[in-house]
Chains A and B, each alone.
Chain A
Amino acid sequence: MSTTTTRRPSDESDPRSDSTIAIVAPDYRGSRGGRGRFGGGGGKRPAPTSFAGIAMRTPYWVVTGALALLFLYPLIWTAISSVSPLPGTNQVDGWGFGNYATLANYQAGIWVYLFNSTFVSLLTVLLTLVISLLGGYAFARFRFPGKDLLFLSTLAILMVPYTTLLIPLYVLLNAVGLSNSLVGVALVLTMFQLPFSMFMMRISFESVPRELDEAAMVDGCSSWRVLWQVLVPAVKPGLITVGLFAFLAAWNDFMAPLILISDTNRMTLPLAISNLRGQVQGVVDYGATEAGVVVLALPCILLFLILQRHYVRGFMSGAFKG
């Protein structure tokens, strides 16, 4: 289980970590003055693959640029057409935010759905962070009976289909009075986040040298104080990754609210926007749907761009090394 959560200067002598940095921080290259693996590496390593080599010889920029555009085009098109005129929408002629006005006045109003989604997402992030921080600490630093069983059971959540759990959860949450409840949705989403976040936090804690907290223990700190004062700063990158993944998963989740929520005032944004199609006598308001997609996607894309290296690090940290 290798980990790259902490990057020490000594790593730079390892040729592998060079390209790791390249992935984690695409513009890191500039400050190091190297040209990466392909260019001026002094022939240290030949081009590893045929595809890249061929592409370099052909009008490489055109092909790769077109490929990138193919991935960006649906997003750009949706953003533009959400403010452009289209018959049958609230934005019939001229450019403007008519579609967003439709969206704002849909049923309970977009603010209600935005609030619901934000509430569920933040609660999920909070619960996931607290539980995986404490759990990761327990798994990495303590020995207790049933530890391996508990850890394996947490990972086993990955193996069980979403629906297989959601149907009994629907019955269980109803039984304890959490039917139609955003808190119930957040609890369920937190459970689904546990395998990844527990794994991530465990290896984050394990990558911190034990001497650090043992020294603090010797100085008479309780394990609780050691956790908050010594270890939390050290595992912060792991926490950011876990939080980001939990937010993206909760904000975008469709199936859990679809099954657990039936009250229109408690719906989350993806559910509301999916229902918004075909409300007016079966005629789909495409403009409002586009606006809804923009509102749904914008926070995710911004967050992704800001925290890209943490997103990437989540994968680099060995969590997905087979």
Chain B
Amino acid sequence: MTATLPAEAAEAAAASARRRRHPGRRGAITGWLYALPTALFVLLLFALPLLLVLQMSGSDWPLLGGNQGWNFPENYQDAVSNRFFWDSVLFTLKYTILTTIILLALSLGLALLVQESTRWKGLLRTSFLVPSALGLASASLLFYVLYSPIAGPFAGLMKAWGFTFLGTPDGALWSTIFLIVWRYAGFYMLLMLVGLQGIPDDVYEAARIDGASRWQTFRSVTLPLLRPTLALTTVLCVTGSLLAFEQFYILTKGGPDNSTITIVQLIYSVAFQGQNDLGVAGALSVIVLLALIVINIAQIRAFNRKAED
């Protein structure tokens, strides 16, 4: 244990090198065996469906009839000329922009509010986070009752003042946004907190020595250094909102007057309600997938370009 002879040391090093190489050589097969379940899942439940949806989008494929042969450009033409297509695209974009701005601003505010560690702030953090344990469907059902003009806590007020939450297009939109903010604010607050942890203390120290006000510190230190987190949360929030379904399916059912139909709801109704056309639904899905990829690349580019400035 005390002193090792050079020769012995060299031999030991060689032996450990051999040992290290040994699992590596045999490792390829063993590694594949451990990765096999993952590979099977990715192949059968992800890659294969992805190829199938491409094929569907170019085929005449009724829900119950199965594949009836190629129908390539017509599916896409039908998809775009669906009478709700442009309405749903516009509504989805409007909803996405509003939700993203409100949700991210609020969650950053909450994160700054509860950043320090005291018992009270721990309690606040927990109360903001509890709604995010609920599923989106449960939260939507909860607010469905909460907004109801019969059973909700505002029923008396609604009767007296003659308004309803879900009765007008704008009311339905804002009621849904409120539900989403309630459900997700804690979740995004947590992501913001992770980002805030990553800002080194000495940067704040330097700003303080330079005599920066709190607002100046926030604008010129916190926000720029938080950019990776802001990029991530924006991408997550935009993606999630563009694919909104449950909240509108349960809360507004697309109403009133079909004013709150999102693009995913349109896909669902084309595929399974009435039209039962998986070909057109597949075409819509492919359009959404491509749009999502383009939008996400654009967002990541935009955040990277700002980083270079």
- With beta carbons under 8 angstroms apart, the residue of A36, A48, A150, A254 that contacts B42 is A150
Scan A47-64; emit 1 where CB is below 8 A from any B CB, else 0. Answer: 111111111000001001
B204:A172 contact, CB within 8 angstroms: no
Scan B195-218; emit 1 where CB is below 8 A from any A CB, else 0. Answer: 111111100110010000111011
Question: B153 contacts which chain A residues (CB < 8 A)?
Answer: 77, 81
Tell whether A194 pairs with B42 under 8 Å between CB atoms, given A270-B138, A293-B141.
Answer: yes
Residues of B within 8 A of A (CB): 19-20, 23-24, 27-39, 41-42, 45-50, 52-53, 56, 109-110, 112-113, 115-131, 133-138, 141-146, 148, 150-151, 153, 182, 185-186, 190-191, 193-201, 204-205, 208, 213-215, 217-218, 222, 228-229, 231-232, 243, 245-246, 250, 264, 267-268, 271-272, 278, 281-282, 285-286, 288-289, 292-293, 296
- With beta carbons under 8 angstroms apart, the residue of A22, A132, A284 that contacts B116 is A22
Tell whether A315 pairs with B191 under 8 Å between CB atoms, given A22-B116, A165-B46, A287-B151.
Answer: yes
Q: How distant is A248 from chain B, measured CB to nearest CB, in Å? A: 7
- With beta carbons under 8 angstroms apart, the residue of A37, A68, A217 that contacts B127 is A68
Tell whether A286 pairs with B42 under 8 Å between CB atoms, given A248-B133, A321-B198.
Answer: no
A316:B194 contact, CB within 8 angstroms: yes
**Interface check A78, CB cutoff 8 A:** yes
**A144 and chain B: residue at smallest CB distance:** B31
**A295 and chain B: residue at smallest CB distance:** B138
A78:B130 contact, CB within 8 angstroms: no
**Cα(A78)–Cα(B118), bound, Å:** 30
Specify which of B32, B145, B278, B289 lies most central, judged by the most chain A CB atoms within 10 Å of its CB.
B145
**Interface check A233, CB cutoff 8 A:** no
**Interface check A191, CB cutoff 8 A:** yes
**B127 and chain A: residue at smallest CB distance:** A68
Tell whether A277 pairs with B288 under 8 Å between CB atoms, given A48-B217, A164-B53, A168-B50.
Answer: no
Question: A240 contacts which chain B residues (CB < 8 A)?
Answer: none
B34:A168 contact, CB within 8 angstroms: no
Interface-lining segment among A5-13, A105-113, A151-159: A151-159
**Cα(A22)–Cα(B208), bound, Å:** 23
**Interface check A304, CB cutoff 8 A:** yes
A303:B41 contact, CB within 8 angstroms: no
A144:B49 contact, CB within 8 angstroms: no
B52:A168 contact, CB within 8 angstroms: yes
Question: B20 contacts which chain A residues (CB < 8 A)?
Answer: 214
What are 8 A-B pairs with beta-carbon distances under 8 A?
A26-B119, A67-B124, A141-B27, A164-B285, A171-B52, A296-B135, A297-B133, A305-B126
Specify which of B24, B45, B118, B193 lies most central, judged by the most chain A CB atoms within 10 Å of its CB.
B45
B35:A144 contact, CB within 8 angstroms: yes
